[in-house]
Amino acid sequence: MRYWRHVSARPHTWARRGLSLALLLAALLAPGAAGAQDSATQQAKDHFDEGQNLYLQGDFLAAALRFRSAYEAKPFSAFLFNVAVCYEKNKDFQRALEFYERFLAAEPHSQDHKMVEARIGAIRSYLSPPVPVEAPSTDKASSATSQPTSQPVQPVQPALPTLPPVQPKGLVVIESAPEGAAIYLGDKKNGIFTRAPYTGSLPPGQQTLIIELKDFTTVRKTVSVRTDRLTYLYFALTPQRNLGWIEVKGNIPGASVFFDQRQFGAVGHTPYSGYLLPGRRKVVVAREGYADFERQVNVVAGQTHVVNFTLEPVRHGWLRVTGRTTRGAQIRVDGRLVTCSGTPCRAEITVGDHRVRLEREGFKAYETRISVSKAEEVQLAVRLNPEPSRTKAYVSFGMAAALLGVGVGAAIVSNKRKDGLEADIKGGALIDRSDRRFLEGRVAAVVADSLFALGGVVGVLGVYYLVRNEGPDSYGETETRRVALTPVLGPTFAGVTTEVRF
């Protein structure tokens, strides 16, 4: 009997121990302060939504009280602004002034700073009208005795302040566990928007958020943002062990970061951080005006890889040719054909003076001289005008050929008449001057000479039409653009590199 009691007591003891262990684990894993914070945020959200609804119904006093309750639950400065707006709508300007001032004290760098200051000034003027000044009396009695008297001017209550319309603020709250996660808006290429925790506003509508923190899985979420609601977003990040973490930083902020192939597009801008699949990867950092930086990195899962880069200014310049008529044109620099990258044409060019010539079939060529310095882009806007039509030249040549052909025929007729007369004369025949062959020969000869002369004139006219430069020449405008230098940042210094010439 004791044996069974002893055996039956073991499971009971184990159960109590298991229950104690479970309670201990639950206590360790419980959110604790974070859970309380979530509850406070939910209360603030409920009060905020009720305040918005009351505001839309025109019950501004009740809305102000709800926004104050939201602030007590969660002291977000936007709630102070909303309270002030409600009191202003309710014409309780003393309280509106109080909460506008509290908002500015909490948010000294707010985007609405100037607008709130203007409202504070108008309300103060309304609440504290200027002290009335006594004016001299102008009655007849005082004029007769030359003893001016004064009478008080009745104070005039200023009109209610007229200010631009204003609405309560919406609010976006983003929190992460752990804190400090980078928040990207839309795309990592745009750079870090802010870090969690964040309290502020986002553009209304559908927004894609990327939440990223070293050693944790990146989260991407699309949310709907409204300007009349409190949007609360909480991201519990899970550890990441299957990818490698890479950080790219150096002397030029805002440089584009590429992995493996540039045609895949930039993944972001420096300083850059993010996850990469394990393996051999090529990191490229590029910025206009600087030579590209490249480095091979062997990415290992679960490890951090830091790539420190230094971009050096380029030692060449660029030629950029634009214009609707330049598509398909051959561009020669100092007689050498230039291979362009992209449209419009943009090509690297050595420092110095160069002769540029554009040629395109059916258009007049354009030629100019340019001077290029380091990290300098010469923009050449060109308009190629069409070559003149050769139709008139071809018509003239055709007419000249026809005239000469008819002239040759007339000359042949004239020669035949002449040869016939000479043969008859040599044969002893008596030729009378009235013989028609004399007249026909002379007329044919005159016609032939005239046609030859006219054909020659028309032929010369055709040559003129062929070589003449009809219409405006091709022309271009040159503009030099200096590539802007970027502030240089270092671990122990900060400054801006500025030079007229490298």
- Residue-wise pLDDT for 106-117, tens only, equals 888 887 888 888
pLDDT recorded at residue 352 = 92
Q: Which amino acid is at 469?
A: N
Residues of the chain with pLDDT under 70: 1-38, 129-161, 341-343, 469, 483-502
Structural tokens at position 482: 């200096």
Structural tokens at position 388: 């003149």
d(CA 458, CA 465): 10
- What single-letter DSSP state applies at residue 280? E
Domains 244-309 and 317-388+477-482 equal at CATH topology level:
yes
Q: 33-126+165-236 domain in CATH 1.10.10.410?
A: no
pLDDT tens digits for range 215-252:
898 899 898 888 778 888 889 888 888 888 999 999 88
What residues does each domain of the chain span?
33-126+165-236, 244-309, 317-388+477-482, 391-467
Structural tokens at position 149: 């008297």
Structural tokens at position 302: 């679960």
Which superfamily is assigned to 317-388+477-482 in CATH?
A: Carboxypeptidase-like, regulatory domain (2.60.40.1120)
pLDDT recorded at residue 284 = 92
Residue 449, SS3 per DSSP: helix
- What count of other Cβ atoms lies within 10 Å of the Cβ of residue 74? 21
Nearest to 424 by CA among 414, 411, 437: 437
d(CA 365, CA 132): 81
pLDDT recorded at residue 68 = 94
**Cβ-Cβ contacts under 8 Å for 79 (sequence gap 6 or more):** 44, 48, 67, 68, 70, 71, 171
Q: Is omega for the bond preceding 155 within 30 degrees of 0, making it cis? A: no
pLDDT recorded at residue 343 = 59
Domain 244-309 fold is Immunoglobulin-like (2.60.40)
pLDDT recorded at residue 188 = 83
* pTM strictly above 0.75: no
d(CA 356, CA 342): 19
pLDDT recorded at residue 136 = 56
pLDDT recorded at residue 492 = 33
